[in-house]
Amino acid sequence: MNVSFDFSETGSSFFDLLRERGPSLLPQFAVETTERREGMPQVPMGTTVLALRYRGGAVIAGDRQATEGYQVASRRVEKVYAADEHSAIAIAGAAGPCIEMARLFQTELAHYEKIEGMGLSLEGKSNKLAQMIRANLPLAMQGLIVIPIFVGYDVRRDEGRIYKYDLAGGRYEEADYHAIGSGGKDARATMKKLYRAGMAEAEAISLAVEALYDAAEEDTGTGGPDFVRRIFPSVKLVTREGFQDIPEERVASLCEEIMTARKSAREG
Amino acid sequence: MPLPYYVSPEQMMQDKAEYARKGIAKGKSIVALEYQGGVLILAENPSATLNKISEIYDRIAFAGAGKYGEFERLRKEGIRYADLKGYAYGREDVTAKSLANAYSQVIGNIFSMEIKPLEVEILVLEVGEGSGPNELYRIAFDGTIMDEKDYATIGGQAEELKLFLRDKYRDGLSVEEALRLATRSLEAAASQKVRAANLEVAVLDRGRAGRRFRRIPVAELRQLMEKEGDAAP
């Protein structure tokens, strides 16, 4: 009888554990073993996600649309996830791997906390995420690109922090704001004009919504507010008190405000 | 050349069991009690950092008595098992029953195959979903698994604690009452007062969402114990 509940010594990392005991469970998905060619089915792509710092922490937000080529694959995709009590992750790229990566990262943080009896530092969390992206590098070379933004409230330093990554797993801390995805550039343009250091929470939330609104206007891959189906961007906060979801009604009314303001600006 | 001597299997098992029992008897005890809002776990533990109680998964907790190093390894392995299972299937599919079975197999194997048995007794506890029933499993040093109701005790004075609780336990306790009952059972078994600083207390709180496990820090524990003191006649 083979009981695989054995005592081989593994560390505190769930990612390493999975590599050792369940490599088939690693997020590899429908890995295209051949080169990607024209006419092959496209992978659903996540689109605009952004983060910005404010006085009491950080805002992280994303649109809700996933596209397959020129088609809308899903209107209600969630791209922003709580990673743990004090941090959140938003991912742009191939939708399937994004969701899997978020789930793996959540398990990783909780696993470490349970094994060690205390959570990782924010620095440690962001570093672990970089290692996970690095492990995904061979897939990224085939076009399965998964790039996250990571935000967290650093309880030791008492401030919100933003980390951005590149394809190769490079990790950079961002001082004020960042946006990625197909509409990332447009969202960054809006934030570049309107961002101020030490903003209040309400201002930061409306800036995030406005940046996503602009991204949706300029980028076909980014979904705007949908008043018919009542689908709005997802906006979350990380603060000293923890992860917090901004209710949909509040985002809806912010979107309406932006629309009214722009309408009246046009009408003069 | 000396002849290899023969030891009957009965004798060998008896010796191992006696050895394990002696080891566990030296250790401090742990009580788990069902209360209205979940499961309370209380351990006598002078160390603030070397925990005897731990979270395993959303609704599952672990407690170990006996040799620290041995139950610590069991605890970590349990977390690995639960996280892997939850990742491969779904979060609801991780159950105390399957984990307790896995523990029972491993501990039982070590007991029969290895020269030195594990000197541990462990509890695997699960708080019910909604108003569903809780599950309390006790696994002994030889892998014997027991499904307990209302309360479960392990460690050196497990029997004394059990006797005490058999008379005093009733259904529908509040968390303060459960805490008082658990401390009183320890005091009765040790025939001396216990201090909050020497206790490690955690609950599986039915009312929480997601991860139900919560440690009760010493400061909060002191408050709770004072509150119970006032309530006592």
The mean pLDDT of B132-139, rounded to a whole number, is 96
Q: Is it the case that residue A2 has pLDDT exceeding 60?
A: no
Of the candidates B51, B80, B211, the beta carbon closest to that of A10 is on B80
Shortest Cα–Cα distance, B86 to chain A (Å): 9
The mean pLDDT of A221-236, rounded to a whole number, is 94
Q: Which residues of chain A neighbour B58 with C-beta distances below 8 Å?
A: none
The mean pLDDT of B67-79, rounded to a whole number, is 94
Q: pLDDT at position A30, please? A: 38
The one-character DSSP state at A143 is T
Q: pLDDT at position B165, please? A: 95
pLDDT classification of A93: cutoffs 50, 70, 90:
confident
Sign of the torsion formed by the C-alpha atoms of B170, B174, B178 and B180: negative
pLDDT classification of A139: cutoffs 50, 70, 90:
low
CB contact under 8 A, A117 and B49: yes
A70 touches chain B (CB under 8 A): no
A112 touches chain B (CB under 8 A): no
The answer to whether the predicted template modeling score (pTM) of the entire model surpasses 0.90 is no
Q: Which residue of B has its CA nearest to A15?
A: B84
The CA-based diameter of chain A, rounded to the nearest angstrom, is 81
A2 touches chain B (CB under 8 A): no
Calculate the CA dihedral of residues A195, A197, A202, A204 and round it to 10 degrees: 40
pLDDT classification of A71: cutoffs 50, 70, 90:
confident
B200 touches chain A (CB under 8 A): no
Shortest Cα–Cα distance, B171 to chain A (Å): 31
What percent of chain B clears pLDDT 90, i.e. is strictly above it?
Answer: 79
Residue A122 CA to residue A87 CA, distance in Å, equals 8
Q: pLDDT at position A26, please? A: 78
Of the candidates A17, A114, A115, the beta carbon closest to that of B84 is on A17
User: In the β-sheet with B60-66, what is the strand arrangement from edge to edge?
Assistant: B53-57, B60-66, B120-126, B135-139, B145-148
Closest-CA residue to B55 (of B211, B218, B206, B175): B211
Q: Which residues of chain B neighbour A114 with C-beta distances below 8 Å?
A: 54-56, 79, 83
Q: What is the mean pLDDT of chain B?
A: 92
Q: Which residues contact B81 (CB under 8 A, 6 or more apart)?
A: A5, B99, B102
Domains and CATH numbers, chain B: 26-231 (3.60.20.10)
Active site residue A47: yes
CB contact under 8 A, A7 and B86: no
Q: Which residues of chain B neighbour A107 with C-beta distances below 8 Å?
A: 83, 86-87
Q: Which residue of B has its CA nearest to A21?
A: B84
pLDDT classification of B106: cutoffs 50, 70, 90:
very high
What percent of chain B clears pLDDT 70, i.e. is strictly above it?
Answer: 96
Q: Which residues of chain A neighbour B211 with C-beta distances below 8 Å?
A: 110
Of the candidates B55, B87, B109, the beta carbon closest to that of A114 is on B55
Q: Is it the case that residue B124 has pLDDT exceeding 70?
A: yes
Shortest Cα–Cα distance, A195 to chain B (Å): 35
The domains of chain A are located at: 43-267
Catalytic residue among A10, A33, A34, A47: A47
CB pairs under 8 A between A and B: 50
pLDDT classification of A19: cutoffs 50, 70, 90:
confident
Q: Is it the case that residue B92 has pLDDT exceeding 60?
A: yes
Shortest Cα–Cα distance, A151 to chain B (Å): 21
Q: pLDDT at position A134, please? A: 84
The mean pLDDT of B96-111, rounded to a whole number, is 96
- Answer yes or no: are the C-beta atoms of A233 and A212 closer than 8 Å: yes
Residue where the block lists tokens 């996933």:
A66
CB contact under 8 A, B83 and A111: yes
CB contact under 8 A, A21 and B84: yes
Q: Is it the case that residue A45 has pLDDT exceeding 80?
A: no
- Homologous superfamily (CATH) for A43-267: Aminohydrolase, N-terminal nucleophile (Ntn) domain (3.60.20.10)
pLDDT in tens, B179-228: 999 999 999 988 888 888 999 999 999 999 889 999 999 999 998 888 75
CB contact under 8 A, B79 and A3: no
DSSP string computed for chain B = -PPPPP--HHHHHHHHHHHHHHHHHHSPPEEEEEETTEEEEEEE-S-SSS-SEEEEETTEEEEEEE-HHHHHHHHHHHHHHHHHHHHHS-GGG--HHHHHHHHHHHHHHHHHHSSSPP-EEEEEEEPPSTTPPPEEEEE-TT--EEEE-SEEEESTTHHHHHHHHHHH--SS--HHHHHHHHHHHHHHHHTS---GGGEEEEEEETTSSS--EEEE-HHHHHHHHHHHHHH--
Residue B13 CA to residue B142 CA, distance in Å, equals 9
Q: Which residue of B has its CA nearest to A17?
A: B80
